[in-house]
Amino acid sequence: MQLIQAKLMELRIDPANVRKTDLAPEEALLSSLRTKGVLVPLTVRKNGDGYLVTDGGKRLAALHILARDGEFDKTTLVPCMLREGDDRDAADISLTTNFIRESMHPVDEYEAIAKLIEGGKTPEQIVAEYGLDARQVRQSLALGRLAPEVREAWRKGDLEEEEAEAFTLEPDHVRQAAILKKVGKHTSRWQIRQAILGDNRSAEGLLKFVGVEAYKAAGGATTEDLFTDAKNPDVIATDIKLLTKLAEDKVKATIAKIEGEGWKWVSEMSDLPDSARWWTSQAKKDIPADKRGNFGVIIFRQHDGSVEFRYGVQKPSAAKAADTKKAKAKANGEVTISAALCGRIATQITSAAESVLAQDHKLGLAVIAAAIIAGDGPARIKSDAANEEDDYSTFDKALALMRKKDVPQLHAILAGHAAASLKLGSFNQSNLPLAEGNDDDRALLEALDQKKINTELRQHFDSADYFAGVTAQACKDAITACDPKQPITGKEKKSELAKLATDLVKKSNAGGKAGWLPLEMRLKSYDGPALKPSKAAAPAKKAAKKTAKKRAA
């Protein structure tokens, strides 16, 4: 063979060239010739004053396209390898070169592109020089950065191409290698995605519920499936633990917001028995604001991230009681308070109960058992394990950790979760934990060690907040109960009465003493100061007796 230089106008396809179809050049070949010229000489044989191209038909076609578009001069010399031979020899050469031509292994190709980037080439330059589009370059870079173990498994044939592609969803090499070891050789793209992303359907719904921007703002990492057929691939969250926590936080905030509207209770469907799906409900607009305290709200979170709210729900037991129960007047000394203050009092009582229940392991077990069997109540058994130092993210991990605990440790863990699951009362005076008819909350509070719960209630009670939100008369009643000798002229401002009541109540509770608590926080075991019944009724009784004697006479 002899290396020669021939003008494009002197070259034409050899009739003996065996490739008769698929002669149109790819964009990658056009880009390469446009930027680098002919790197591999064409194989030709003499044909009069010109040459026949035995091998290199696509390169020839590409050069003609570039010449047509004014990107290649027809007089430019093209490197060629000149061979002697007849038509039979030419056909043999053409067939041989087409048969033995073998593409690079994808791993080698992607590694090469990754090295070009590391060497300083930009993705835009690669697009221009190799005829790839921007997405292909991103795909190549992702595959070129796979963990060495994954690339080697692909080279050896232990992984198919689409399986290797799935590993690009996990940027961490250590985790890629661990997942490869776990799934083994006989795996699938779906199994690898599950190992990396977990229940992707659920994760997609969580991300839509939380919002991509909120997730990213919290430091959540994302990826995208570069190999999906979709034109606009969805953003995929990779920190499932963080995503779950954000979703739970949003649910808690949503529940608190709805509770603030005055509903008796608000629960996620997952915290209620299955039968709750068929509990009757009403349109929100049909329920007057002052009647919301008689009904609840159920929150349904769908897998696709959408949320449904059912308002005006009554639990079967509450509905039955509502049909038979009549309104009753409160005991003497009742204080009417706002929904917001009700909510804060309910929170204070809940916090006090949590502190006591967490230390009572036997009662904690009883609370968990009762909550599971009854299906509802003040304890909504739901693990907050995502906040724990140990990894309870999956059942198998949680089980392995729990099996290492002894019985007292298990009791302590369960009591702690029972305490963390408490939710007593709501933003409505008739639904405070110790309100008449709130049997579930009262039962739990009365089951606690009464000395401890009363101590905790006094420690959690915010007297300044309470007296700022009640009437002047309520402040006077508390002042008189704490210090009957305290002079009250009736000329005091409400703010002055509130401050005085706050100071006296704090003093009454100082040092762990059995001090004053509002009616809303008094258990049967309450042993603090209380307003003594008025004696104003005595003269009236005597007068009535005198009147009766006169009539008899």
pLDDT, tens digit (0-9, with 9 covering 90-100), for 471-494: 999 999 999 999 999 999 888 999
Containing 398, the helix (H) or strand (E) segment is: helix 395-402
Question: Could you tell me which of 220, 200, 221, 226 has the C-alpha nearest to residue 144?
Answer: 226
Give the tokens for residue 150: 């994954």
In angstroms, the CA 236 to CA 208 distance is 10
Q: Helix crossing, 361-374 with 339-357: angle to 10°?
A: 120
**What is the chain's alpha carbon radius of gyration, rounded to the nearest angstrom?**
40
Question: Could you tell me which of 439, 419, 438 has the C-alpha nearest to residue 429?
Answer: 438
Per the model's pLDDT, the better-predicted residue between 46 and 376 turns out to be: 46
Whether the predicted pLDDT of 130 surpasses 50? yes
Confidence band, pLDDT 50/70/90 cuts, at residue 51: very high
Per the model's pLDDT, the better-predicted residue between 80 and 28 turns out to be: 80
In angstroms, the CA 271 to CA 375 distance is 8
Contacts of residue 519, Cβ cutoff 8 Å, sequence gap at least 6:
331, 333, 334, 335
Amino acid (1-letter code) at residue 553: A
The sheet carrying 42-47 orders its strands as 2-7, 77-82, 42-47, 50-55, 11-13
**Quick one: average pLDDT of 14-24?**
72
Question: Could you tell me which of 182, 113, 174, 166 has the C-alpha nearest to residue 147?
Answer: 174
Q: Are 63 and 76 in contact (CB under 8 A)?
A: no
Q: Are 114 and 141 in contact (CB under 8 A)?
A: yes
Confidence band, pLDDT 50/70/90 cuts, at residue 497: very high
Confidence band, pLDDT 50/70/90 cuts, at residue 416: confident
pTM: 0.43
| Residue 23 per-residue DSSP state | -
Specify the pLDDT at position 552. 47
Per-residue pLDDT reduced to its tens digit, 197-249 = 765 556 777 888 888 889 889 888 777 666 665 555 567 777 778 888 888 88
Residues of the chain with CATH 3.90.1530.30: 2-100
In angstroms, the CA 489 to CA 495 distance is 15
What is the per-residue DSSP string for 451-502? HHHHHHHHHH--HHHHHHHS-HHHHHHHHHHH-TT----S---HHHHHHHHH
> Domain 2-100 falls in which CATH fold?
3.90.1530
> To 5 degrees, how large is the angle CA 22–CA 23–CA 24?
95
Specify the pLDDT at position 509. 92
In angstroms, the CA 357 to CA 354 distance is 5
Question: Could you tell me which of 313, 280, 277 has the C-alpha nearest to residue 295?
Answer: 313
Whether the predicted pLDDT of 13 surpasses 90? no
Question: Could you tell me which of 1, 89, 8, 92 has the C-alpha nearest to residue 50?
Answer: 8
In angstroms, the CA 206 to CA 303 distance is 8
Name residue, tokens 């040092």: 511
Task: Give the C-alpha distances (Å, rounded to integers) separating 197 from 131, 223, 494.
Answer: 33, 10, 59
In angstroms, the CA 349 to CA 53 distance is 92
Specify the pLDDT at position 311. 93
Specify the pLDDT at position 131. 59
- Three-class SS state of 273: coil
Whether the predicted pLDDT of 129 surpasses 60? yes
Confidence band, pLDDT 50/70/90 cuts, at residue 48: confident
Pairing of strands 77-82, 2-7: antiparallel
**Quick one: average pLDDT of 380-394?**
54
Name residue, tokens 């057929």: 229
- Three-class SS state of 37: coil
Q: Are 318 and 263 in contact (CB under 8 A)?
A: no
The share of the chain scoring above pLDDT 70, in percent, equals 77
**Quick one: average pLDDT of 457-473?**
92
